[in-house]
Structure formats: C-alpha cells, structure tokens
C-alpha cells in the first residue's frame, strides 16, 4: 500500500510539471520544480532530475510563452549588448576588481567573494537581482537585492549600473 502512495506522488509530480509547463507562466523546468517542492513534494528534485524530462519541460515552457515574453527576452538581450556590455569597459577602469559575465537572460557583476546576479523577471521588463557573498567563515549566502527591482531594464541608466557595480566592489 505504501508503495502505491509513493507511485501516486511521483505520477502527480510528473503530471503537475507538465501542466505547469503548458501554462505559459514559467521560463523552464527549475521554477516548476521549485514550486512543486514548495507545495510539499520534496521528491520533485529527484523525479525531475532527468535530462530528457527537463529538456521536454523547457521546450513546452518556451512554446507556451506569450509573444510578449518572447519579445521582452529579445529586447533584454539587445539592451544588455547595447547598454551593459558597451558601458562596462569604462566601469571596469573605475572598479578594476569587478568582472562581467552573461548567460541567456542573466548577467553577473563579480568580484572577490561577491557577486550580483541581475535578471529580468519572467514575463515583464522588470529587473531583479540576487546578491551572492561569502562570509569569513566560508559560508556562502544569497540575498534578494531590491535596489533596482522597481525599474524596467530600459529605464536602468548608467547611474544605476555604476551603483550596482560599486556595491559588488565594496561589500565586505
């Protein structure tokens, strides 16, 4: 009997993940997994830990996304290329210990033991961020960074960019 209950939970996780991926509300498998785990199904990590399942969920999410999300994604990439990567060399001179990394819809300002991850909130133009840092005892922390959360990426100017880089270069 217990085995059946376990199988039912696993079936529910797979079905729920597929259902959520078709909703158009998710960018990929990871937010879906996190939501299912938050709903009390801790085994979702293990059940969805399969390359084929994750690729299928990502593909379904992409197909289900509204046109506005696809447009915002393209605009964000263009904005990053035209604004962030163009202005970063001058900021690098001002803050020599900071580097820039970009991946898909996320970019990172990185310094020794500190990092700000900047991303576009799904289905909008809003910027959001997470501050990653290490303490002296070696523990690593992540905290939401809200200073620019109320700005759209197309409103984020050089002053905002400089302030963000400054935070990464000065946190102890």
- Per-residue pLDDT tens digits for 20-74: 999 988 889 999 999 999 999 999 999 999 999 999 999 999 899 888 888 888 8
Whether residue 18 sits in one domain with residue 60: yes
Inform me whether the pLDDT recorded for 15 exceeds 90.
Answer: yes
Question: Which one, of 124, 123, 141, 145, lies nearest residue 132 by Cα?
Answer: 141
List C-alpha distances in Å: 6 to 33, 40, 73.
18, 13, 39
CB 121 within 8 A of CB 47: no
CA 107 to chain centre: 9
Same domain, 78 and 146: yes
For position 1, what pLDDT does the model report? Answer: 43
Q: Please count the structural domains in the chain.
A: 2
Instruction: Please give the backbone phi and psi of residue 128, each rounded to the nearest 5 degrees, phi first.
Output: -140, 170
What pLDDT does 60 receive?
Answer: 95
Using the 8-state DSSP alphabet, how is residue 105 labeled? Answer: T
pTM of the model: 0.68
Domain shared by 107 and 45, yes or no: no
Rounded-to-integer distance, Cα 91 and Cα 109, Å: 11
Task: Please tell me whether residues 165 and 83 are part of one structural domain.
Answer: yes
The mean per-residue pLDDT over the stretch 92-120 comes to: 87
Strands of the 127-134 sheet, one edge to the other: 99-103, 106-111, 114-120, 127-134, 140-144
pLDDT of 14 higher than 60: yes
pLDDT above 70 as % of the chain:
92
Mean pLDDT of the 76-93 span: 93
User: What range defines the domain where residue 40 resides?
Assistant: 2-64
- Give 172's pLDDT tier (boundaries 50, 70, 90): very low
């Amino acid at each position: 009997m217990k085995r059946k209950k376990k199988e039912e939970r696993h079936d529910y996780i797979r079905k729920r993940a597929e259902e959520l991926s078709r909703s158009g509300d998710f960018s990929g498998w990871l937010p879906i997994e996190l939501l299912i785990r938050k709903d009390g199904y801790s085994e979702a990590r293990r059940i969805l830990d399969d390359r084929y399942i994750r690729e299928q969920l990502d593909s379904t999410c992409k197909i289900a996304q509204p046109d506005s999300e696809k447009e915002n994604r393209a605009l964000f990439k263009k904005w990053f290329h035209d604004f962030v990567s163009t202005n970063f060399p001058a900021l690098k001179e001002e803050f020599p210990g900071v580097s820039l990394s970009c991946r898909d819809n996320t970019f990172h300002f990185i310094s020794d033991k500190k990092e700000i991850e900047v991303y576009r909130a799904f289905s909008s133009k809003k910027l959001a961020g997470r501050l990653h840092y290490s303490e002296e005892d070696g523990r690593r922390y992540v905290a939401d960074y809200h200073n620019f959360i109320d700005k759209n990426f197309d409103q984020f100017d050089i002053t905002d960019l400089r302030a963000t880089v400054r935070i990464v270069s000065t946190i102890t």
